[in-house]
Amino acid sequence: MKVAVIGSGVAGLATAIRVAARGDIVTLFEKNGTPGGKISQIRDKGYRFDTGPSLFTLPNLVDELLSMNLNSDIQTSLSGKNSFNYFRLENSCRYFYPDGTVFDFFQNTQKLREQIENNTDENFENILKRLNQSEFIYNLTSDLFIFNSFHRFSNFLKEENRSIPLHLHKLGFHRTMHSANKSLFKDKRIVQLFDRYATYNGSSPYKAPATLNMISHLEHNIGAFFPEKGIYSIADSLYKKGVELGVNFEFNSLVTEVIVEKFKGTREKKNEIYSGENYNDNSGDENTSNFGKPWRGKRAVGVRVNGVSKYFDYVVCDTDVSYAAENMFNGRYRHPLKKRLSKLEPSSSALIFYWGIKGEFNRLDIHNILFTSNYKEEFDYLFKKRELYSDPTVYIFISKKVVAGDAPDGCENWFVMVNAPYNKGQDWQAVIANARKAIIQKIDKTFNIKIEDYIDVEHIASPVTIERNTLSSKGALYGSSSNSMFSAFLRHPNTLNKIKNLSFTGGSTHPGGGIPLCLASAIIAEKEIYKL
């Protein structure tokens, strides 16, 4: 079988590996000159910056891909050279509050207990309770919500998922993350800390369902990890694995159309792709009949790249689904969910300053949060006014703390990020200038320094550049937001009933954004392609 994958984001790379490891022929088309999509890097004057993700969870999903081998005995010259190592961080994040409170969220329970008891008014048992609840929800729902298509009824009927309805009241669909956190924790600082997990998929804790509190399980119970060579090495290692397995990478290749044709034929075996003859009359009804019976419908048969039509048996889109629906189904047949997608609220985006800093700051760790004094107001600005709040929560990520080569001696590579609204044509130059001022003010006040004097190198990413570089609609980081109890159901499915031989992967489709969920979408794509 010949499979086309569009996009070399982490999910596209993972899908290509999975298909190639089965011995099928894969061509991956990427509009950029390098692989990775949102996982990218900048090198300048001895500094290296990971430009997108910084937190790495569920590393076993990457291990699994890197351990895959061809069904056949073929080995290539790259075999064995693809070393990818990572380690568990001792401290998942250092938190700084406007009232001067500072503490580390250690992964070791005893050390975490000391931090919480010495620095906050929270009862540590409540934190353990939340982490246990998160684990319970994750274990109960991950098979259905994360590792399988949410839009196949048969998955709801699986043995392991039958008990979910019995526990519906514990899943938290009926209330927001904030209301669940507020009712469990008495210290506002801890409420704010757990509310922050909503931003891991670009949502507001005041709107997202409490089910998403399970994110804390990934970071604290399973662990926050970091690759020895930085985040970009995840994409680089997956790319090398793809090359080793024979994936044909075509860079600088923008796919302008997924070619869809009508056909009639039969779907004979469970694992057979939809085969038959193309036909162009418009008379037949489309139906998904049982195996062996006649089937009429539409299917993806190829892609149009650089003005040339290329034909495949199966197409996988690792592109933002809104972008795809708007721009890549403009041939004879439209994307059937185009209208619905245009109504979904995009997730938040980000403004990021990559600063090469001439100096070393021991008060900062690898991941640091400088909280705003009014979280509710900050999210209202992001999701109601679509503006940046004047006192934003600032995230500072410094990989040099654990990867010595990421900045020159005596220097640090600061990734300084604030959440930003999605791009709806704001005056970004003005927004960036104001944000830069507000961030500098906050850093100066927190650490009693003049950070501007230390900035040696500066690069900036905004919703506009994120949109341009990765074709993410409106620069949203995670596709649509999860700002309602129905979001999981409204998120774009992994396949379409109306167009066969086509799957969707990546952060804008089910199960959602973030490296682990994108890798899960590739697992789902494999199940869909091979009808597993």
Ligand X SMILES: Cc1cc2nc3c(=O)[nH]c(=O)nc-3n(C[C@H](O)[C@H](O)[C@H](O)COP(=O)(O)OP(=O)(O)OC[C@H]3O[C@@H](n4cnc5c(N)ncnc54)[C@H](O)[C@@H]3O)c2cc1C
Report the interface residues with ligand X, using CB under 6 A. Answer: 6-12, 29-32, 37-39, 52-55, 254-255, 318-319, 328, 350, 352, 466, 470-472, 477-478, 506-507, 513-515, 518
Least Å distance, CB 243 to ligand X, is 17
- Alpha-carbon distance 416 to 402, whole Å? 17
- Give the DSSP per-residue string, 144-207: HHTSS-TT-HHHHTSGGGTTGGGGHHHHTTTSBHHHHHHHH-SSHHHHHHHHGGGGGGT--TTT
User: In this complex, which beta carbon is closest to ligand X, that of residue 369 or of residue 477?
Assistant: 477
User: Taking CA 335 as the corner, what is the angle to CA 503 and CA 252, rounded to the nearest 5 degrees?
Assistant: 65
CA 462, chain centre distance (Å): 17
User: In this complex, which beta carbon is closest to ligand X, that of residue 274 or of residue 428?
Assistant: 428
Can the peptide bond before residue 516 be classed as cis, meaning omega within 30 degrees of 0? Answer: no
Least Å distance, CB 174 to ligand X, is 27
184 backbone dihedrals φ, ψ, rounded to 5°: -90, -45
The tokens for 426 are 């704001």
Residue 133's alpha-carbon distances to 137, 139, 180, 405, in angstroms, are 6, 10, 11, 39
The tokens for 127 are 């934190």
Please, are residues 482 and 209 in contact by the beta-carbon 8 Å criterion?
A: yes
For residue 398, give every residue at least 6 positions away whose Cβ sits within 8 Å of its Cβ, in sequence order, or none. 364, 365, 366, 368, 412, 413, 414, 415
User: In this complex, which beta carbon is closest to ligand X, that of residue 254 or of residue 485?
Assistant: 254
User: In this complex, which beta carbon is closest to ligand X, that of residue 54 or of residue 181?
Assistant: 54
User: In this complex, which beta carbon is closest to ligand X, that of residue 35 or of residue 297?
Assistant: 35
Least Å distance, CB 321 to ligand X, is 10
The tokens for 325 are 């629906």
User: In this complex, which beta carbon is closest to ligand X, that of residue 27 or of residue 192?
Assistant: 27
Least Å distance, CB 215 to ligand X, is 10
Least Å distance, CB 12 to ligand X, is 5
Least Å distance, CB 517 to ligand X, is 7
Least Å distance, CB 130 to ligand X, is 21
Beta strands in 89-147 (DSSP E): 91-96, 102-106
User: In this complex, which beta carbon is closest to ligand X, that of residue 315 or of residue 328?
Assistant: 328
Q: Which of 304, 291, 290 is nearest to 332 (CA)?
A: 304
Least Å distance, CB 350 to ligand X, is 5
Please, are residues 8 and 249 in contact by the beta-carbon 8 Å criterion?
A: yes
What is the number of residues in the chain? 532
Least Å distance, CB 235 to ligand X, is 8
Rama region for 492: left / alpha / beta (φ>0; ψ in -120 to 50; rest): beta
User: In this complex, which beta carbon is closest to ligand X, that of residue 202 or of residue 356?
Assistant: 202
User: In this complex, which beta carbon is closest to ligand X, that of residue 210 or of residue 466?
Assistant: 466
Residue whose Cβ sits closest to ligand X: 9
- Alpha-carbon distance 364 to 451, whole Å? 13
DSSP three-state, residue 103: strand
User: In this complex, which beta carbon is closest to ligand X, that of residue 116 or of residue 502?
Assistant: 502
Least Å distance, CB 139 to ligand X, is 20
Q: What is the Cβ-side half-sphere exposure of residue 114, based on CA atoms within 13 angstroms? A: 6
Bridge-based pairing state of the strands 455-461 and 349-357: antiparallel
- Alpha-carbon distance 399 to 417, whole Å? 14
- Alpha-carbon distance 415 to 49, whole Å? 7
User: In this complex, which beta carbon is closest to ligand X, that of residue 367 or of residue 500?
Assistant: 367
Q: What is the Cβ-side half-sphere exposure of residue 130, based on CA atoms within 13 angstroms? A: 30
Least Å distance, CB 59 to ligand X, is 11
